[in-house]
Amino acid sequence: MITDSGIYAKAPPLKGNIPTTQILSKDFTTQGFQPDNFRPVPVAVDIKNQDFVWIQPGVIHEVIWDPNMCKKEQIHKRLWNKALTKKIKNNEEMHYLNEHLQKMTNPFVDAPITVQNISQLIQMNPQLAYRFLLKIHTQKEFSMYLDPLIQQKCTLESFECMHKLLQNMEMPKEFLTFYLTGCIDQIEKLREQPYGIQNRMARILSTFLRSLINSKTLNPIDMYIELQAFSIKFMNVAEAASLFKMLKGIESDNYSNNNTTK
């Protein structure tokens, strides 16, 4: 036990139970069983007045002006960056971007649209993405943008953009085959998604395929097996059933294997 002098001593043997009323608060200590550690008093630092100058900085009344704030190049860049992350709903902003797109002399420099973010533009603003791709489709760099188009997520916006592209420019037949095959694979993997999403996308793709076949943009003979398997699998969707009937009524003589997309 701890004595009044702070020396630890052996406690006397207990005789019987000690009533709790005899245990006083002084019998308890929060110091534990370790001696106090004595530390030297810290030396005071000699602080002078000049040491506090930084705490009270003077007020700067100088006007700072950004010379690039109102330049058109900065406005273009800001709007294009906005188009990559948000849907442009302001008609004035959309008109401004379309006008800027028409006046571009070098789209790869004048617009911050790259192979890495073209899919974002398609999902956010498919109309702008279509006009941009139409602007560069005669350039040799356009081929680099085909892979992101094939690998992009299958959505209503991507179908909208692709439909306009196929109707207004000539695309390699292999590209269209890879793109549609990828869309079919994506939709077939949507069976684990919430109810109705897979059927909705199957309906959109079936309508898209029928439009391509009617306009002879797509030669159904090139993908007859894939298209037939897709329409049979989603026969419960009315648009897919109509696609199946269309495929059954197709005569191979009406389509040439050498036919390419428009």
The answer as to whether 129 is a domain residue is yes
Distance, CA of 244 to CA of 248 (rounded, Å): 6
Residues 74 and 161 in one domain: yes
Six-digit token pair at 175? 């590209």
Q: What are the φ and ψ backbone dihedral angles of 8, each rounded to 5 degrees? A: -75, 130
pLDDT digits over 21-46, tens only? 565 666 666 655 566 667 777 787 77
The answer as to whether 12 is a domain residue is no
Report the predicted TM-score, pTM, of the whole model to 2 decimal places.
0.63
The number of beta carbons lying within 10 Å of the beta carbon of residue 8 is 9
Rg, the chain, Cα only:
38
Point out the domain boundary residue: 120, 150, 169. 169
71: left (phi over 0), alpha (psi -120 to 50) or beta: beta
The answer as to whether 33 is a domain residue is no
Residues 151 and 194 in one domain: no
Point out the domain boundary residue: 169, 202, 218. 169
The answer as to whether 35 is a domain residue is no
Amino acid at 126: P
The answer as to whether 60 is a domain residue is no
Point out the domain boundary residue: 119, 147, 169. 169
Compute the average pLDDT of residues 88-113: 83
The answer as to whether 198 is a domain residue is yes
Number of domains composing the chain: 2
Residues 118 and 162 in one domain: yes
Distance, CA of 220 to CA of 252 (rounded, Å): 9
Residues 97 and 156 in one domain: yes
The answer as to whether 84 is a domain residue is yes
| pLDDT of residue 8 exceeding 50 | no
pLDDT at position 240 is: 92
Residues 156 and 194 in one domain: no
pLDDT, the chain, mean: 78
Q: What are the φ and ψ backbone dihedral angles of 257, each rounded to 5 degrees? A: -65, -20
The C-alpha torsion from 91 through 95 and 101 to 104, rounded to 10°, is -140
Which residue range(s) make up the domain with 195? 172-262
Residues 154 and 214 in one domain: no
Residues 124 and 176 in one domain: no
Asked if 136 and 108 count as a contact pair (C-beta separation under 8 A), the reply is yes
The answer as to whether 112 is a domain residue is yes
pLDDT digits over 78-98, tens only? 888 888 888 888 888 888 888
